[in-house]
Amino acid sequence: MSPEVKDVRVLFLGPKGGSGAFGADSERQSKAAREMGAEFVVYEGNSEGELIEALKDVDVAINHGHGWDPKMFEHIGNNGRCKGLASGGHGYDGMDLDAAVKNGAILSNAASFGTEEVSNQTMMHLLVCSRKFVLHDKLVKNGTWTREHLAPMGHISGETLGIIGIGNIGRAVARKALAFGMKVIAYDPFISSWDAKEYDVEIVGTPKEVAKRSDYVTLHTYLNDETRHMVNAEFFGLMKPTAYLINCSRGPVVDEKALIAALQSKEIAGAGLDVFEQEPVDPNNPLLKLDNVSVTNHYASYSELAFDRAKTQVGEEAMRIALGYWPMSLINPDVRSSVAPRKLAVSWEVMLAELGK
């Protein structure tokens, strides 16, 4: 049974130090709790013991840039009042999903908040690579006006974009690439043929086929043991020498040493990267020295609007967990087998109506 809303308590774990894009302000994260009439508690402790005590008296916790020790799962889920953890952001490779499932802890993230931003960043890198912007920007700024380094130059329209991962972001990239007149192929073992038809995307059977056929390959997959280094020396060996790799997902999806080797040997034409295996990136990383590589510092998901939405969304997910609903973005679905049945996730507007708010 869902608890009465007036008795619900939400614990907010803000960023340690209160700095960075997340910020210490909890106004957005608390919006859903305030709309429901629940109590929103900002955690102010500094020790493991204080956090354990705080978790005993709340129904759900929000982790927004605070960090989370897997040992804490032993104090939530089936082990106490706090039933789960709603995390800001999109990636969840820092979470121990197995430990969460073992303890019956329900986990959600704020998936989709930065879909437009990441897909825009992807298309930006694609265009920058296609038009050899890094090289020509450098030449002009250094006083060199020349047309010696134009060919080969991408045409884009009619060329093939290969996407690995057709989730929210992958689909947005596909939509934008189609607007540029590109042919889009994709590998995603979890997408049905009828959904792919709706996206106007051709589904292929293996990542190798994406590598072989694409003029641009873009990665939009999560990071786990299966996807780590899925783009490796073998993958680059299958790509066209005129093709580019774009990565706005997670750095370790790509074997960076193999990428450097492929670029230096001209096995592929170039790359556009928002993420790296080591972050912050080593200033001596060869990728930073190459004129056929565009780089940004892992900010693809950011805009003020997107981060405001992420903060609001994580608060809504927290209230779903606290009130006996499944979250919209459940990141450890195996937990369904270890917890009591829950109501299906519904939109925030429907939840408000169902609960008379």
pLDDT band at 221 (very low <50, low <70, confident <90, very high): very high
The helix (run of H) or strand (run of E) holding residue 201 is: none
Is pLDDT of 21 > 60?
A: no
Domains of the chain listed by start with CATH number: 5-113+303-354 (3.40.50.720), 115-295 (3.40.50.720)
Q: Which residues are catalytic?
A: 250, 279, 298
Of residues 293, 251, 247, 311, the one with CA closest to residue 135: 293
Q: Is it the case that residue 94 has pLDDT exceeding 80? A: no
Amino acid (one-letter) located at 215? D
Q: What is the reported pLDDT for 2?
A: 56
The Cα-based distances of 70 to 93, 102, 311 in angstroms read 12, 11, 23
What is the per-residue DSSP string for 1-51?
Answer: -PPPGGG-EEEEEPPTTS-TTT-S--HHHHHHHHHHT-EEEE----SHHHH
pTM: 0.91
What b/e sequence results for 97-127 when a residue is b if at least 16 CB atoms lie within 10 Å of its CB, and e otherwise? bebbbbbbbbbbbbbbbbbbbbbbbbbbbbe
Using DSSP's 3-state secondary structure scheme, residue 212 falls into helix
Answer whether residue 38 shows pLDDT above 80. yes
> Cβ-count burial of 286 within 10 angstroms (0-12 exposed, 13-18 middle, 19+ buried)?
middle
Residue 231 is given by DSSP the state: B
Residue 127 confidence (pLDDT): 98
Q: Which residues touch 42 (CB under 8 Å, ≥6 apart)?
A: 12, 14, 26
Dist. CA 172–CA 284, nearest whole Å: 34
- For residue 1, what pLDDT is reported? 44
Name, in order, each residue with C-beta under 8 angstroms of 176's C-beta and a sequence gap of 6 or more.
Answer: 119, 120, 123
pLDDT at residue 5, as a whole number = 79
